[in-house]
A and B are shown apart, each in its own frame.
Chain A
Amino acid sequence: MLIGGQTWEFRSKPAIIGAAAVVGPEEGKGPLAGDFDYVFDNLEINETTWEKAERRLLEHAGSAAIMNAGITKEQLHFFVGGDLMNQIISATFAARTFAAPYLGVFGACSTSMESLAIAAMMVDSGNAGFVLAGTSSHNCTVEKQFRYPTEYGSQKPPTAQYTVTGSGCAVVAAKGSGPRVTHATIGRIQDLGVTDPFNMGAAMAPAAADTIVTHFRDTGRSPEDYDLIVTGDLASVGLPIVKDILKQDGLQMEKTHFKDCGLMIYDREKQPQVFAGGSGCGCSATVTYGHILRQIKAGRLNRVLVVATGALLSPLSYQQGESIPCIAHAVAIEREGLQ
């Protein structure tokens, strides 16, 4: 049900009964390598084109999540997914493989939590028993579509981010064992005029700040109610901006752990080619479904708020000089049996 203005409270607390995260080689060298279900040793993901590679990641993660949930593909009621490609082809083509009724969603890099929020709402309202939510991104498909050819020699500024090659999927169910989805705060578009596509962190920071503040206002919760609050892909430029804004607003974020998936997935000292940190749909999806859910299941985290951020630009819009509209969706996940 709707609480406050923008938050859904899931009274039945739908469970994430199975999840999976698969990544490419660069993410496999990062600090979270041990938390992923599968690490591909080649950037081609054993495929002939980058687009097929991105799709393969999603198919792999989706199948693994279904298997981990202990159900069959036929039991799946819906698949909710999206990605960064034009006409969300990765999710659509993967849906062909899953053969489940499909809803395509687009929220750029916030698609991970957008799809999870919708899946939880479908289950909570009794409209589905098992819903698969997932997304994927590939470094080279994004470079090709949004920037330059992968081998083109252009110099990137230090504010640039490195798109995660990876996919994360989760099966949300009405019954069963697993971390619970309790709330989802749907963000509003924020656009404070940043036009630089190589500075997504600064573009997305206001959206993240707005959604975090709204979540606390709607739920009556405060930062210390969470063991961990993570933003999707603000990286080393965007996260300090959000911290700065929230501090000015009087929110005591130092009472919790406030991190960013884009900074968690890579070691920027050892992997300098990631510049400010990770980005892309796969960034928050693999960190959440790989690392964070494992931490919750192990009892190391009780309650987590994942605030996935998305920059909703297109190559056309920035070539025409438009600024970058951004969004953030927050989903609260807690340990099973938490009072």
Chain B
Amino acid sequence: MATKTRPGARIKLNSVSLDAEDYKRIAKKHEPSRSVFSNCARAFLVGGVICTIGQAIQEFFKAVFDMSEREAANPTVAVLIIISIILTSMGVYDKIAQWAGAGSAVPVTGFANSMCSSALESRSEGLVLGVGANMFKLAGSVIVFGVVAAFVIGIIYAIFGIQGGHS
């Protein structure tokens, strides 16, 4: 349980007097336990299923449209995003996520869900101040820190290089 130390915080009843530390112990005792193992297993399972579906879509593009591995990548991501958006709009994705945890949050479908849900939620505030301004409310930090991380890695790559590198 997340707590913060507040100096002087104390509850005094008739005979009981508890400070924040005492209270934390009592509250901790009544907090339901969470199974990290089963949560990890679910995340692994659902994340794996989403990746397998993605792989199947990619194989489909390669076989039917005669695309190369690289050419098939973009349409594959687009299809996954559309599936995620449809599931979000139907009110299903959040229910999957409650079970799957990080398994449905980490893949590209989770990113699409964060944008789609923000857009849906702020539609009532109009297209510009609502949808436009809020669509990246949750996804924005992923992009910001993704770009920052890529920049840092890029610098390292430029200075040290990697023998062989890209072809």
**B91 CB contact (under 8 Å) in A151, A155, A196:** A151
The residues of A that contact B91 with a CB separation of less than 8 Å are 151
Q: State how many residues of chain B have any CB contact under 8 Å with chain A.
A: 51
How distant is A299 from chain B, measured CB to nearest CB, in Å? 33
B58 within 8 A of partner (CB): no
**B101 CB contact (under 8 Å) in A151, A155, A213:** A155
How distant is B142 from chain A, measured CB to nearest CB, in Å? 13
* Stretch among A1-9, A106-114, A164-172, A202-210 lining the B interface: A202-210
Interface centre among B14, B30, B110 (most CB of A within 10 A): B30
CB contact under 8 A between A191 and B9, given known A151-B116, A159-B31, A237-B30: yes
B16 within 8 A of partner (CB): yes
Pairwise interchain contact B4-A153, C-beta atoms closer than 8 A: no
**A323 CB contact (under 8 Å) in B4, B32, B104:** B4
Pairwise interchain contact B104-A209, C-beta atoms closer than 8 A: no
Q: How many A-B residue pairs have CB under 8 A?
A: 148
**B-facing residues in A164-209 (Cβ within 8 Å):** 190-196, 199, 202, 205-206, 209
A217 within 8 A of partner (CB): yes
A220 within 8 A of partner (CB): no
Pairwise interchain contact A151-B27, C-beta atoms closer than 8 A: no
Pairwise interchain contact B11-A190, C-beta atoms closer than 8 A: yes
The residues of B that contact A192 with a CB separation of less than 8 Å are 3, 6, 9-11, 18-20, 23-24
Pairwise interchain contact A153-B113, C-beta atoms closer than 8 A: yes
| Cα separation A159 to B116 with both chains bound (whole Å) | 27
B5 within 8 A of partner (CB): yes
**A151 CB contact (under 8 Å) in B6, B15, B32, B120:** B120
How distant is A24 from chain B, measured CB to nearest CB, in Å? 15
Pairwise interchain contact A194-B93, C-beta atoms closer than 8 A: no
Q: Name the residue on B nearest A48 (C-beta).
A: B124
The residues of A that contact B122 with a CB separation of less than 8 Å are 149
* Stretch among A119-127, A243-251, A256-264 lining the B interface: A243-251
Q: Name the residue on B nearest A151 (C-beta).
A: B117
A221 within 8 A of partner (CB): no
**B30 CB contact (under 8 Å) in A148, A217, A244:** A244
Pairwise interchain contact A150-B94, C-beta atoms closer than 8 A: yes
Proximity bits, B100-114, A CB within 8 Å = 1, else 0: 111011000010011
How distant is B53 from chain A, measured CB to nearest CB, in Å? 16
How distant is A151 from chain B, measured CB to nearest CB, in Å? 4
Q: Name the residue on B nearest A50 (C-beta).
A: B124
A25 within 8 A of partner (CB): no
The residues of B that contact A322 with a CB separation of less than 8 Å are 4
CB contact under 8 A between A191 and B6, given known A144-B121, A159-B32, A202-B30: yes
Pairwise interchain contact A199-B31, C-beta atoms closer than 8 A: yes
Interface centre among A151, A217, A248, A323 (most CB of B within 10 A): A151
Pairwise interchain contact A151-B13, C-beta atoms closer than 8 A: no
| Cα separation A65 to B98 with both chains bound (whole Å) | 38
The residues of B that contact A240 with a CB separation of less than 8 Å are 30
How distant is A130 from chain B, measured CB to nearest CB, in Å? 35
| Cα separation A205 to B102 with both chains bound (whole Å) | 31
A97 within 8 A of partner (CB): no
Pairwise interchain contact B2-A194, C-beta atoms closer than 8 A: yes
Pairwise interchain contact B97-A245, C-beta atoms closer than 8 A: no
Pairwise interchain contact A237-B31, C-beta atoms closer than 8 A: yes
Pairwise interchain contact A150-B14, C-beta atoms closer than 8 A: no
How distant is B114 from chain A, measured CB to nearest CB, in Å? 6
Q: Name the residue on A nearest B90 (C-beta).
A: A151
B34 within 8 A of partner (CB): yes
Proximity bits, A15-53, B CB within 8 Å = 1, else 0: 000000000000000000000000000000000111100
B147 within 8 A of partner (CB): no
**A152 CB contact (under 8 Å) in B4, B31, B113:** B113
The residues of A that contact B13 with a CB separation of less than 8 Å are 209-210, 213, 245-246, 249
6 shortest interchain CB distances as A-B pairs: A153-B97, A149-B121, A151-B117, A149-B117, A152-B117, A196-B2
New A-B contacts (7) at CB < 8 Å, excluding given A153-B88, A249-B16: A149-B121, A150-B121, A192-B20, A210-B11, A213-B13, A322-B4, A323-B4
A-B contact pairs, 18 of them (CB 8 A): A48-B124, A149-B138, A150-B94, A150-B121, A153-B94, A153-B113, A159-B1, A191-B9, A199-B2, A209-B13, A210-B11, A241-B26, A245-B16, A246-B13, A248-B15, A273-B98, A321-B4, A322-B4
